[in-house]
Structure 1
């Protein structure tokens, strides 16, 4: 029975070492997944922070765009009022039936805006340029015609200056709008990267949990093996102690028997050796 228990103990030791090895492997995997998760979470946070910065810049640029648009519209409105007065003067003092200066300015601005923002074939763009050129010529002719009047000339100068200022603001508005769009696109890209890294972090966390649970399970099995080994040690130790006691008792009986034989020889007057005398002393026969 003792040998059978010893063999079973060896099997349990092997199982214990196997569970310990697997536990350590799973713990190492869990640590690796935890590091990956933490790195990805940091990347997510950095992307979100960068996206927020781009959002703030976009909103700032859009606010400036709206403020400048209001200023531009105000200047254009002032210019339109002056051009309206100029056109009224034309009709009153010449009965000219051609298009008004105000209308010409509006049409020229409209065509120039199309030229800047739309894509044309070479032939179509040439036609557009020629049309703008013709309208500007009409504008110059009409302005030259009414600039004889000092008051009107001053209104034309002021109206042109207002248009120039409005045009400069419009260019600035266009640039700011492009900047706002650029930061909007960057913001969207940062949020896209944040979503991607967050998704990867969630997957790494899932693997971390699975590895941790597997490690915990192997640790429980390892602990169970350790408990089983302690039980085996108790039983085996008890059996060995019992066997040793039985063996000792048997040996003592044999020694006693041998000592009695030697003692009989001693009483018969036979000569004893030193070893015989020591044996008799241990057996308490002397």
Structure 2
């Protein structure tokens, strides 16, 4: 049976372990809180990084699409420039032909304008009362205009060609201006998106460094938490062993006490039996001892 000193040592050791367990649990709670704080900071930054990466991908895709549009608009603009150059040459040639005809016919003028002037003068003669001299003067002017109109009629087709070519040239120039505006607009939008991609990429790099720092702090506290958990587990196992040892000591002491009591009662019973054999009178103590032995 263990000595009282041994039992006291176990109780003392158990108290020390209980104190250590309490401190370890308090430390674990503190470490877990710190660990979670750094983990939440790391996760918040990770979420920002994911959002920025998604935005960079979207903006980069839109930027590339706009860059393609710029390339297409430039190609169209160059094509239109080439067409305009050819059409401008055609208009120049037609105007040179027109000037040649005008010189040839002593500047007969625009047939449409001459026709309008003839109609105006004839209408004036028909609707107004004028002197004979005035009428002769107007008729002479009308006849001269009719002669000029006849001379300039051959210019009608040329005028039509010049008008058509000029309209086409104006239309082409408007298309070229639109293509140029498209180039500028798409280029500006593409540049803005490119700048956004660059800025976001820099921010991602900065946040990744921040995330790395938070993760390192999280891992530091996680390591300490794991070590403290292992220490607590070891202490709890030691506590369990101490409890079992203490229970064993107490059981042995209880068994020893019961054995001593049984031995004492057994000796008393033998004395009573001897008294009975000798015919001696039994005392109250003798009767109680005998009854106790009988109950056991």
| TM superposition score normalised by structure 2 | 0.63
In the alignment, is the contact (CA less than 8 A) between 1:83 and 1:159 conserved in 2? Answer: yes
Q: What's the RMSD between the two structures over aligned residues?
A: 3.4
In the alignment, is the contact (CA less than 8 A) between 2:66 and 2:186 conserved in 1? Answer: yes
Aligned equivalent of 1:43, options 28, 44, 48: 48
1:272 aligns with 2:283: yes
In the alignment, is the contact (CA less than 8 A) between 2:66 and 2:187 conserved in 1? Answer: yes
In the alignment, is the contact (CA less than 8 A) between 2:95 and 2:162 conserved in 1? Answer: no
In 2, the alpha carbon distance for the partners of 1:165 and 1:234 equals: 98
Q: Residue deviations 1:73-104, cap 9 Å, x none?
A: 2222222334456667899989xxxxxxxxxx
| TM superposition score normalised by structure 1 | 0.65
CA shift for structure 1 position 8: 0.7
1:57 aligns with 2:62: yes
In 1, the alpha carbon distance for the partners of 2:174 and 2:287 equals: 137
In 1, the alpha carbon distance for the partners of 2:71 and 2:59 equals: 18
Max radius of gyration: which structure?
2
In 2, the alpha carbon distance for the partners of 1:256 and 1:56 equals: 101
Aligned equivalent of 1:214, options 220, 224, 227: 224
Q: Which residue of 1 aligns with 2:71?
A: 66
Q: Residue deviations 1:98-121, cap 9 Å, x none?
A: xxxxxxxxxxxxxxxxxxxxxxxx
Q: Residue deviations 1:213-261, cap 9 Å, x none?
A: 2221111111111221222223322322332333334444555566677
Query: Partner of 2:215: helix, strand, or coil?
Result: helix
Query: Partner of 2:8: helix, strand, or coil?
Result: helix
The 5 A counterparts of 1:30-109 are 30-84=35-89
Q: Which residue of 2 aligns with 1:173?
A: 183
Aligned residue pairs total: 229
Q: Residue deviations 1:166-205, cap 9 Å, x none?
A: 1222122211111111222222233233333333333333
1:3 aligns with 2:8: yes
In 2, the alpha carbon distance for the partners of 1:19 and 1:248 equals: 41
In the alignment, is the contact (CA less than 8 A) between 1:263 and 1:280 conserved in 2? Answer: no
Aligned equivalent of 1:237, options 247, 250, 260: 247
In the alignment, is the contact (CA less than 8 A) between 2:84 and 2:169 conserved in 1? Answer: yes
Aligned equivalent of 2:27, options 22, 34, 58: 22
Q: Which residue of 2 aligns with 1:196?
A: 206
Q: Which residue of 2 aligns with 1:109?
A: none
In the alignment, is the contact (CA less than 8 A) between 2:45 and 2:211 conserved in 1? Answer: yes
1:184 aligns with 2:194: yes
In the alignment, is the contact (CA less than 8 A) between 1:79 and 1:160 conserved in 2? Answer: no
Query: Partner of 1:190: helix, strand, or coil?
Result: helix
- Segments of 5+ residues of structure 2 without an aligned counterpart are 1-5, 101-157
In 1, the alpha carbon distance for the partners of 2:240 and 2:174 equals: 97
